[in-house]
Amino acid sequence: MVFDFLKGEFIDVIDWTDDTRDTMVWRFERRGNAIKYGAKLTVREGQAAVFIHEGQLADVFGPGLYMLETNNMPVMTTLQHWDHGFNSPFKTEVYFISTTRFNDLKWGTKNPIMCRDPEFGPVRIRAFGTYSMRVGDPAKFMQEIVGTDGEFTADEISFQIRNIIIQEFSRVIASAGIPVLDMAANTADLGKLVTTAIAPLVANYGLTLPEFYIENISLPEEVEKALDKRTSVGIAGDLNKYMQFSAAEALGKPGSGGGDAMTAGIGAAMGMSMAQNMGPWGTPAGAAATPPPPPPAARQWHLAENGATKGPFAETDLAALIANGTLTRSTQVWSAGMDGWKPAAETDLSRLFGQVPPPPPPPGV
């Protein structure tokens, strides 16, 4: 019974099988037991085993089956002064490190990156993508990152890697000199530049990035709208014709200040006139220059007084009515496009009251 008890105190098989997808480091559980001399260490493909003895990094084992003896533990033998061999159990910590790839890790810019475009000048861009990570130097990874953590996952280092990626991506984009409009066609080349810049930094942690992808590079919404306008001008083929079309389109929209039947008719007439003067794809139908569009019709106003309506009046006529007191701030007015009668002070006419001078002073003053 004593022999069985002592036998149970010694570890003779050391291995690790992992069914998770994010564990990078796992410490072999000794539970206070000593490792038997000649114990079997199994390191599977995609793993490395690191021995830590009395706080010092000792031996590192790659994939294979090992008998733990003095001839295959040179560092441990030196630390323990086992120059003449040993056959007693020993205590040390064993860490298994996964050296496989950790795929589909995300990165992205939290804030827009400012860069100088040769065509548009200073612009702000955003980007995101994916990358893969693996442990290239198990010893350095243990010393620089893991320490005494008994179970280390990819999430614990991915945040730091993302910071490095964004820093180097910003620097590469700012110095690459690639026009914004050409970046989408050069994401592969940009990815190689970023990977090259990142490699020495992550190597300091014992890591490598086998894959790095830029999935999207985008501009701010207002810049994209400006580019859409520029594309529309190119399709129209002539800036003057495009301006005519935009004016006609705006006049025909409700709530634009000219959304009544008359202004809508003017907008339609302008559109038809422009279409007649334009050939296929916006090219001129003849040699004659297209005349400028007619000015929009002046807005007409109606006044309510003692249950009756007066008008219509143009704004130029209303200034005289204000001067003689016929039109006051409380006078009910209406114009096409309004949803009902309103006091003049609550409409666009409010500005006219500040333009009319007060009555002249009495004689002799």
- Residue 202 domain-assigned? yes
Helix, strand, coil percent values for the chain (each to nearest 5):
40, 30, 35
The reported pLDDT for the residue numbered 102 is: 95
Q: Would the pLDDT of 359 be above 50?
A: yes
What pLDDT score does 40 carry? 94
**Residue 8 in this model has a pLDDT that exceeds 80:** no
pLDDT value of residue 6: 42
Residue 64 within a domain: yes
CB 112, CB 125: distance < 8 Å: yes
Amino acid at 149: D
- pLDDT for residue 105: 94
* Domain C-terminal end among 186, 219, 252: 219
| 360, part of any domain | no
**Both 91 and 119 in a single domain?**
no
> For residue 219, what are the CA distances in angstroms to 17, 125, 179, 307?
46, 5, 12, 58
Average pLDDT of the chain, as a whole number: 80
The answer as to whether 6 is a domain residue is yes
Task: State the pLDDT confidence band at 2, using cuts at 50, 70 and 90.
Answer: very low
Q: Which two tokens stand for residue 243?
A: 């301006």
* Residues 135 and 237 placed together within one structural domain of the fold: no
Q: What is the pTM assigned to this prediction?
A: 0.58
The 8-class DSSP code of residue 355 comes to: T
* Contact call for residues 293 and 245 (beta carbons, < 8 A): no
What the block records as the tokens of 17 is: 């099988």
Q: What percent of the chain has pLDDT over 90?
A: 30
Cβ pair 96, 23 in contact under 8 A: no
Q: Model confidence over 89-101: pLDDT tens digits?
A: 888 899 999 999 9
Assigned domain for 358 exists = no
The tokens describing 93, both together, are 């910590």
Dist CA 300 CA 334 (whole Å): 9
Residues 347, 340: Cα–Cα separation, whole Å: 11
pLDDT at 259: 46
- pLDDT of res. 1: 34
From the list 231, 233, 251, 250, the residue with the least C-alpha distance to 242 is: 233
Highest mean pLDDT among 114-118, 192-196, 240-244, 278-282: 192-196
d(CA 165, CA 212): 10
Q: Do 310 and 245 belong to one domain?
A: no
**pLDDT at site 278:** 53
pLDDT at 236: 57
Domain boundary among 98, 123, 154: 98
Coil, helix or strand at residue 25: strand
Instruction: Extract the runs of DSSP E, i.e. beta strands, from 72-112.
Output: 93-98, 102-108
Q: Is residue 170 domain-shared with residue 120, that is, in the same domain?
A: yes
Same domain, 132 and 203: yes
pLDDT: which is higher, 105 or 268: 105
User: What percent of the chain clears pLDDT 70, i.e. is strictly above it?
Assistant: 76
Q: Within this chain, do residues 76 and 117 fall inside the same structural domain, yes or no?
A: no
CATH number for the domain that contains residue 330: 3.30.1490
For residue 69, the SS3 value is coil
Are 115 and 26 found together in one domain? no
Q: 3-class SS at 303?
A: strand
> Would you say residue 293 lies in a domain?
no
pLDDT value of residue 204: 94
Domain assignment present for 258: yes
Alpha helices by DSSP H, listed for 46-146, are 74-80, 138-141
**Domain membership of residue 304 as a residue range:** 300-353
**Looking at the structure, do residues 270 and 320 belong to the same domain, yes or no?**
no
Euclidean distance between the first and the last CA atom of the chain, given in angstroms as a whole number: 129
Residue 165 lies in a domain: yes
Amino acid 199: pLDDT? 95
Higher pLDDT, 88 or 346: 346
Q: Is the pLDDT of residue 260 over 60?
A: no
Residues 124 and 35 in one domain: no
Confidence of residue 255 (pLDDT cuts 50, 70, 90): low
- Same domain, yes or no, for 202 and 153? yes
Co-location of 200 and 148 in the same domain: yes
Give 39-84 pLDDT, tens digit per residue.
999 999 999 999 998 888 989 999 999 998 877 788 877 877 776 6
With contact defined as beta carbons under 8 Å apart, do 191 and 183 qualify? Answer: no
Separation in Å, CA 255 to CA 148, 258, 266? 68, 7, 16
Least confident range of 114-118, 213-217, 283-287, 307-311? 283-287
Domain boundary among 165, 189, 219: 219
**Which CATH number do you get for residue 118?**
3.30.479.30
Q: Which DSSP string corresponds to 188-236?
A: HHHHHHHHHHHHHHHHTTTEEEEEEEEEEEE--HHHHHHHHHHHHHHHH
Q: Could you give the number of structural domains in the chain? A: 4
Query: In sequence order, which ranges of 88-184 are alpha helices (DSSP H)?
Result: 138-141, 155-176, 180-183
Q: Are residues 119 and 190 in the same domain?
A: yes
Look up residue 315 and give its two tokens. Answer: 């704004």
